[in-house]
């Protein structure tokens, strides 16, 4: 796994953990983000190329009531 993929996986895992802790389904999150229902599932599935962009992370932080920084590691990977 390359460094780019490592950071993407880290961010996706943090978002998924926060989403699940708040008991928000993929479908509900997609609706709140105004993206297709399949988008969140595709992002969370490593077999698909979809990833979150900066706008997504900002929207996710607002929806999941945290800081965008909460999705990032404290140190470079």
Tell me the C-alpha distance between 24 and 49, whole Å.
23
Q: For residue range 12-44, what is the model confidence (pLDDT) as tens digits?
A: 999 999 999 999 999 999 999 999 989 999 999
pLDDT value, residue 66: 98
Report the topology of domain 3-71: 434 Repressor (Amino-terminal Domain) (1.10.260)
pTM: 0.93
Say if CB 33 and CB 60 are below 8 A apart. Answer: yes
CB atoms within 10 A of CB 69: 10
């Amino acid at each position: 796994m390359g460094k780019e993929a490592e950071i993407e996986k880290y961010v996706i895992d943090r978002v998924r953990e926060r989403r699940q802790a708040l008991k928000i389904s993929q479908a509900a999150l997609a609706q709140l983000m105004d993206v297709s229902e399949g988008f969140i599932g595709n992002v969370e599935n490593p077999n698909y190329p979809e990833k979150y962009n900066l706008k997504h992370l900002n929207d996710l932080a607002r929806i999941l009531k945290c800081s965008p920084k909460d999705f990032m590691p404290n140190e470079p990977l």
